[in-house]
Amino acid sequence: MQAVWHHEEWQPGADVVRAADAAVQALSDRGSPAHDGQAARLAGWDATGDDLRMELQPVRWALRLVDAPEANSLTALCVVRSEDGRWLAGRRAGWLASWPNRWALGAGGAVEVSENPALTLARELEEEWQLRPIELKVEALARLPGGLVALVGLATVARDAEPVPDAEHDEFAWWPADVDRWPGDADERLRRMGSLLA
């Protein structure tokens, strides 16, 4: 995967700026860290065969908190499976900006300025779970509701890997290899993703 960075920061319209300001204030009001800064925007992409080329530029991090499809804010999602096929799921802490108190797969976060998004996948896995993959593949580039664009990777870890969750997770579990046997509180979107990646 290739990543080409442009240095000029993308600027949204005034309405989007106001919405982002309000979203950051709302996070602050509920005690969530409001570490607004810069992250990555997907400015363009091209896929030829198995090669993905992404053009990126800096963008305000808080734009991921609002419905701004034109922002193309890029996030990285590293789905984790053990060698025997189980899925690592973590319940996200209530103070987080996205998916608070809900189960999610693996690790994820913003792509930092000048970072190759493929390396973001491994960095987030290390930061959130203290895990290093045996294998890590980029599986998809997907547009999510609200304007986020997700680079989805699939990491394989050792069968006996022991995740150590960070403060972003208050619980974790290894879900069965068979998606149909996941617990009832697994979000339908997670089930669809699991089925596609399986």
| Cα torsion 53, 134, 119, 189: sign | positive
Q: Is 130 a residue whose pLDDT tops 80? A: yes
What does the pLDDT read at residue 80? 98
pLDDT digits (tens, 9 = 90+) for 90-121: 999 888 877 889 999 999 999 999 999 999 99
- Rounded-to-integer distance, Cα 164 and Cα 175, Å: 16
User: Do 70 and 157 contact (CB within 8 A), yes or no?
Assistant: no
pLDDT score at 33? 72
Could you give the C-alpha distances from 97 to 63, 116, 184, 197, in angstroms and in order?
12, 23, 24, 26
The CATH T-level fold of domain 2-197 is: Nucleoside Triphosphate Pyrophosphohydrolase (3.90.79)
Lowest mean pLDDT among 12-26, 47-61, 87-101, 169-183: 87-101
Q: Is the pLDDT of residue 34 over 70?
A: no
Closest CA to 174 of 184, 164, 182: 182
